[in-house]
């Protein structure tokens, strides 16, 4: 079996590449290294340093004719999408179209797309389901939602099978504090540097934090299940930024200084995703709780900071 992973040198992508190779799958990585790092990539993976918007990327898929394409490459920085919506759309919409066209022409059996809870915007619900209205509050959320629509249309027009996975807030080892880095990566980077943490707003905003290895397992399960479905990958547990700070202080074993800042434009106040559909259709459930995942990520970041 052969797979292409776009963004395979990045945070989630590199973990996915490792698991696919463990399963004996031939893996080709498409990554322009904007956010990726060659150091992250398993040595048995074939690396193609190409942009997903390029003709070369399309030619690689046509040449390799993979059975499955995992499309993770994206512009994933909410703030950057706000001040540069054109670039965001070029990568997340046009890049996805380029990959879809290649998949169709190469007779790829299935595309598995990494989407986001950001498509829902500031939906005022305790627990969001896949059937809820998606009204993005950022251009990033809008571009990912638009990419989803193209994927569904490619199935309707050409029969290209898909699974769309909408992630909660993914965290774990290898996530950088730059670009697409989530709040946990940013906090850990600052803790290791001895710099105060910035708390935007009152710190009571909540997120559904899901560990990267759980996300990888969802992608693996989607190869054989969840066809033509949009499925949320989450813990269905709310964690506030203040609670995150408390847990991190406990793991760190010392007081962590903070600085209060205004809320950020485009940020979502609360986000918690129902994961029952993932249980039912993917036979998937999260296995790592927030404290355990945070501890593992802290150890990894602390070790790498020391080595660096």
Residue-wise pLDDT for 92-147, tens only, equals: 999 999 999 999 999 999 999 999 999 999 888 889 999 999 999 999 999 999 99
Residue 63 class from Cβ within 10 Å (0-12 exposed, 13-18 middle, 19+ buried)? Answer: exposed
Of 31, 47, 140, the closest CA to residue 85 belongs to 140
Q: Cα(39)–Cα(28) distance, rounded to whole angstroms?
A: 15
**What residue has token string 């498409």?**
30
Lowest mean pLDDT among 33-47, 224-238, 255-269, 285-299: 255-269
pLDDT, one tens digit per residue, over 235-272 is 999 999 999 999 999 999 999 999 999 987 767 788 89
Active-site entry in 120, 139, 140, 211: 140
- Integer CA distances (angstroms), 132 to 141, 168, 169, in order: 15, 15, 18
Domain 2-170+210-236+273-287 and domain 183-205+238-272+293-307, same fold? Reply is no
Can you give the residue ranges of every domain in the chain? Answer: 2-170+210-236+273-287, 183-205+238-272+293-307
Q: What is the CATH code of the structural domain delimited by 2-170+210-236+273-287?
A: 3.40.50.720
Q: What is the pTM of this model?
A: 0.94
**pLDDT of res. 173:** 96
Q: Is 120 a catalytic residue?
A: no
Is the confidence at residue 220, as pLDDT, over 70? Answer: yes
Of 115, 126, 140, the closest CA to residue 218 belongs to 115
Q: Is 28 helix (H, G, I), strand (E, B) or coil?
A: strand
CATH fold group of domain 183-205+238-272+293-307: UDP-galactose 4-epimerase; domain 1 (3.90.25)
């Amino acid at each position: 079996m052969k797979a292409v992973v776009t963004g395979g040198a990045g945070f989630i992508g590199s973990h996915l590449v490792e698991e696919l190779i463990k399963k004996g799958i031939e893996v080709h990585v498409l990554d322009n290294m904007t956010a990726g790092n060659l150091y992250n990539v398993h040595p048995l993976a074939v690396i193609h340093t190409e942009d997903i918007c390029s003709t070369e990327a399309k030619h690689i898929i046509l040449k390799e004719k993979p059975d499955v394409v995992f499309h993770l490459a994206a512009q994933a920085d909410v703030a950057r999408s706000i001040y540069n919506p054109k670039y965001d759309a070029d990568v997340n919409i046009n890049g996805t179209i380029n990959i879809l066209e290649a998949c169709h022409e190469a007779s790829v059996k299935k595309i598995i797309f990494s989407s986001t809870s950001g498509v829902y915007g500031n939906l005022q619900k305790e627990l969001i389901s896949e059937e809820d209205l998606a009204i993005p509050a950022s251009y990033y959320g809008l571009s990912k939602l638009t990419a989803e629509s193209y994927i569904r249309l490619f199935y309707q027009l050409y029969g290209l099978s898909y699974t769309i996975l909408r992630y909660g807030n993914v965290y774990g080892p290898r996530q950088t504090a730059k670009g697409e880095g989530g709040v946990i990566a940013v906090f850990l980077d600052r803790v290791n540097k001895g710099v105060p943490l910035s708390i935007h707003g009152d710190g009571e905003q909540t997120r559904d934090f899901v560990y990267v290895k759980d996300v990888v397992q969802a992608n693996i399960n989607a190869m054989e299940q969840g066809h033509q479905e949009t499925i949320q990958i989450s813990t269905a547990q709310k964690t506030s930024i203040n609670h995150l700070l408390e847990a991190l202080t406990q793991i760190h074993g010392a007081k962590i200084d903070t600085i209060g800042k205004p809320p950020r434009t485009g940020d979502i106040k609360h986000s918690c995703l129902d994961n029952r559909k993932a249980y039912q259709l993917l036979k998937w459930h999260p296995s790592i709780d927030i404290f355990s995942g945070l501890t593992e990520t802290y150890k990894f970041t602390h070790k790498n900071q020391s080595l660096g």
